[in-house]
Amino acid sequence: MTALIRMRLTGFVQTGRAAAPLLAALVVLSVLYGGGQAQAGEAYGVSAAVLFVVLAWQTKVLLDVEPDVQRRLGRVAVGGATREIAAGLAAALLAGLPLILVAMVLPWVVNGVTTPGPGDPSLATGIALGLWAHLLLLLPAVTLGALASRAVTVQAARGLTVLVAGIVFTIVFGLKSFPAPWLAPPVMATARDTVGGAHLPTLTVTTLWGIAWTAVFVIVYGRMRLDRA
């Protein structure tokens, strides 16, 4: 399975498809941080919400690189469809880590973080919240991108529709006024939770929410992939 993960990541990078999501992340985050300074936690929370879109798109691109025949051969090589599906998700998770690193470093390069004042959360707290937010949202971003991949949707237009609809629903369902926000991943909630410092009960609820949503839709993705096997 490790070899299949490595092969997918190598194909993603060597075909040049990794450049577009990386460039998009650099441009979007540079514009975001260029708008003015903010407390570290707040800046990173918004950054994580924005990066969610890029990570979902990157996952779709990565999983779409592999031809259908090669994917079937990979399934045979690793000993089953479940392991092949897991290898794809693992490759997408690993591919997202460099973008998270960029998002964590970039605000210091463009001077987008302000020094905490009296009563503000410490810089260390803000950085810790930022890392938590980015890593948490990586999980549902990869899941959404996988659901939009060609292996599930078959047609490129249908996959794009799933990706865009998922992003729109995530934003709309994430509004405080929406009666059932748990239907979407906690993207907007995560951005809100990073403002004002760490509140452990709130962070715990949001973390469990993100993990539970991811688990449910990873199962959905797995069942859809198996049905199309």
Instruction: Count up the domains in the chain and report the number.
Output: 1
Within 10 Å of residue 85's Cβ, how many Cβ atoms?
22
Specify the pTM: 0.92
Q: What residues make up the domain containing 161?
A: 2-227
Q: What are the tens digits of pLDDT across the range 39-68?
A: 888 889 999 999 999 999 999 999 988 766
Per-residue pLDDT of the chain (229 residues; tens, 9 = 90+): 787 888 889 888 988 999 999 999 999 998 888 767 788 888 899 999 999 999 999 999 999 887 665 666 656 556 667 788 888 899 999 999 999 999 999 988 888 888 887 878 888 999 999 999 999 999 999 999 999 998 899 888 899 999 999 999 999 888 877 788 889 999 999 999 998 877 889 999 999 999 999 999 999 999 988 876 6
φ, ψ for residue 28, nearest 5 deg: -65, -45
The DSSP-derived string for the chain is: -HHHHHHHHHHHHHTTTTHHHHHHHHHHHHHHHHT--B-HHHHHHHHHHHHHHHHHHHHHHHHHHS-HHHHHHHHHHHTSHHHHHHHHHHHHHHHHHHHHHHHHHHHHHTT-BPPP-TTSPPHHHHHHHHHHHHHHHHHHHHHHHHHTSHHHH-SHHHHHHHHHHHHHHHHHHTSTT-S-GGGS-SHHHHHHHTTTS--HHHHHHHHHHHHHHHHHHHHHHHHHHHHT-
- Compute the distance between CA of residue 198 and CA of residue 227 in angstroms, rounded to an integer: 43
Q: What are the tens digits of pLDDT across the range 68-95?
A: 656 666 565 566 677 888 888 999 999 9
